[in-house]
Amino acid sequence: MLWTVMPLEAVLDGSDSYEPEYFDVPWNDGGRLIVEKLNMDSARVVRLISGNANDYLDASIQPGTIIQYAPKNQASKQ
Amino acid sequence: MTLSPRQRRSSSARRVRTTPHPALQEQPKTHTQEKEKGQDVLQNIQQLGQTNIPQQLSENGIHTITIIGQIEGHITLPPQNKTTKYEHIIPQLVAIEQNPKIQGLLVILNTVGGDVEAGLAIAEMIDTLTKPSVTLVLGGGHSIGVPIAVSSDYSFITETATMTIHPIRLTGLVIGVPQTYEYLDKMQDRVIKFVTSHSRITKEKFRQVMFCTNQLARDIGTVMVGKDAVDDGLIDEVGGLGQAIAKLQSLIKARESKGGSTDALDSDAP
C-alpha cells in the first residue's frame, strides 16, 4: 500500500514495460549481489543478499553503486 | 562513460538469472587503488548524486543513513523513481546496532513517502535501536516519512522543509463494502498510533491536520512547514545539520556517561 504525495499515475508509470536483465554475482563468503549490467565492464548493484549484516554497511556495494569488472583473459587460463 | 537514459535507471530485480552471465563471471575488483576509488566516487555522484557516506564511520562513530525519494517496499517501483530500498536499510540497522564502532545514527530524510509497511518497519527499527539516533528532515518528509521522522530519540526539521500529512488511500480494485473502509481505518490507526506515541502531537490534533480540507488543492490534509511541525509537537526542534550532529554527539556522551556504550557492554560480557 503506497502512501505518498506523488500522484500514483506518475509513480507507477512504466511499470508494465520496464524489464531490465539482472545477474547474480557471488560476493564474499556465501553472499550474492544482484546486478544490472550496464556495459561490458560495469554493472549497477540492485540488491545485496548476505547473512552478514556488516556487508550492508559497505558503501561500495550499496544499491545503485556502479561496480567494475576485470576483463577475463582467456589465453592466460590455458 | 556515456550511458543511455535506460542504463541510468535504477530498480530492483524483476527477472533474475540463476547463472551468471559470461561477462559477469569475474569477481568485482576490490577498490583498493586510490584512482579507482576516485572514479567510483565520481560515478556515484554522476549516477546517484551521493558519495560513499559510511567511509566516515571509524572517524567519529556516527553512521548516516539517507532516506530519499520513494520508500520502496513489497513492490519494485518503475525506474523513473528514486527509491530507498527497505531490504537494504533493515539489515543496515541491524549492523548499526551490532557494530561496536558505531556510537550513534543520523537519519537524513527527504522523502515523498512510499510503502506503508516498509516505512513503519524502518521506523520501528530506528525506534528500538539501543544507540542514540537523531533524524533531520530536509526538503520534505511526507506521508510515511512522518513516522520515520519521529522514530528517533530527537528530531530536527529545517526551516524550509515541509511535512505533508494526509489520509492513506487504496489503489486498484476497491470493493465497496464496509470492511474495506474498516481495513483502511486500521492501517491509518497504525500510523497515527506510532506518530502520536513518539512525538508530542495528540491523536486529536493529528487527525485534525490529516483530514483538513482547506489546505491542499488536490487532496485533503495539511502541509507543515518547518516551525509549524515543531509548534504542533510533531518534531522536536527547528535546526540543520550542525544542530543535528551536535545533539547526536551530546546523546552519545550522555549514553557513555551512563555506561551504556557498546564498549561498556562488551567489557561486562563474560
Residue B44: closest CA among chain A residues belongs to which residue?
A: A65
Question: pLDDT at position B250, please?
Answer: 96
Answer whether A2 sits within 8 Å of B113, measured CB to CB: yes
pLDDT in tens, B1-21: 444 444 444 444 344 444 444
Question: pLDDT at position B32, please?
Answer: 53
| Whether the predicted pLDDT of B241 surpasses 70 | yes
Q: How far is CA B253 from CA B61, B101, B151, in A?
A: 12, 14, 20
Q: B109 pairs with which residues across the strands?
A: B67, B137
Task: Please give the residue range of the domain that contains residue B249.
Answer: 62-264
Q: Do the domain assignments include residue B90?
A: yes
Interface of A with B in 35-74 (CB under 8 A): 35-40, 42-44, 46-48, 50, 53-72
Mean pLDDT across A22-48: 86
| Whether the predicted pLDDT of B215 surpasses 90 | no
Count other Cβ atoms within 10 Å, centred on residue B57: 17
Asked whether A32 and A52 are in contact (CB, 8 A), the reply is: no
Q: Do the domain assignments include residue A7?
A: no
pLDDT in tens, A62-71: 888 888 876 5
- Nearest-10 Cα torsion for A9, A12, A15, A20: 130
Q: Do the domain assignments include residue A13?
A: no
Asked whether A48 and A56 are in contact (CB, 8 A), the reply is: yes
| Whether the predicted pLDDT of B132 surpasses 90 | yes
**Nearest CA of chain A to the CA of B240: how many Å?**
23
Q: How many domains does chain A have?
A: 1
Q: How many domains does chain B have?
A: 1
Q: Do the domain assignments include residue B43?
A: no
Q: Do the domain assignments include residue B184?
A: yes
Q: What CATH number does the domain containing B85 carry? A: 3.90.226.10
Q: How far, in Å, CA of A46 to CA of B60, rounded?
A: 29
Q: Give the closest of A11, A56, A70 to B26, CB-based.
A: A70
Question: pLDDT at position B152, please?
Answer: 96
Partners of residue A33 in chain B, C-beta under 8 Å: 28
Pick the range with the lowest mean pLDDT from A15-24, B202-211, B230-239: A15-24
Task: Identify the helix (H) or strand (E) that includes residue A5.
Answer: none
| Whether the predicted pLDDT of B139 surpasses 90 | yes
Q: Do the domain assignments include residue A2?
A: no
| Whether the predicted pLDDT of B124 surpasses 50 | yes
Question: pLDDT at position A62, please?
Answer: 87
Q: Do the domain assignments include residue B3?
A: no
Q: How many residues are listed for chain B in this entry?
A: 270
Q: Do the domain assignments include residue B50?
A: no
Question: pLDDT at position B35, please?
Answer: 59
Q: For cell 521522522, what's the residue?
A: B149
Q: Do the domain assignments include residue A6?
A: no
Mean pLDDT across B186-214: 93
Burial class (CB in 10 A: 0-12, 13-18, 19+), B252: buried
Task: Give Dmax (Cα) for chain B.
Answer: 62
Task: Pick from A27-41, B165-179, B242-256 the range whose average pLDDT is largest.
Answer: B242-256
Q: How far, in Å, CA of B110 to CA of B88, rounded?
A: 17
Partners of residue A30 in chain B, C-beta under 8 Å: none
Q: Do the domain assignments include residue A10?
A: no
Q: Do the domain assignments include residue B55?
A: no
Partners of residue B87 in chain A, C-beta under 8 Å: 47
| Whether the predicted pLDDT of B240 surpasses 50 | yes
Task: Please give the residue range of the domain that contains residue A26.
Answer: 18-69
Q: How far, in Å, CA of A48 to CA of B124, rounded?
A: 22
Q: Do the domain assignments include residue A53?
A: yes
Give every CB contact of residue B32 below 8 A, 6+ residues apart in sequence: none
pLDDT in tens, B148-169: 999 999 999 999 999 999 999 7
Q: How far, in Å, CA of B108 to CA of B66, rounded?
A: 5
Q: Do the domain assignments include residue B9?
A: no
Q: How far, in Å, CA of B245 to CA of B134, rounded?
A: 8
Q: How far, in Å, CA of A7 to CA of B171, rounded?
A: 11
Q: Do the domain assignments include residue A12?
A: no
Q: Do the domain assignments include residue A56?
A: yes
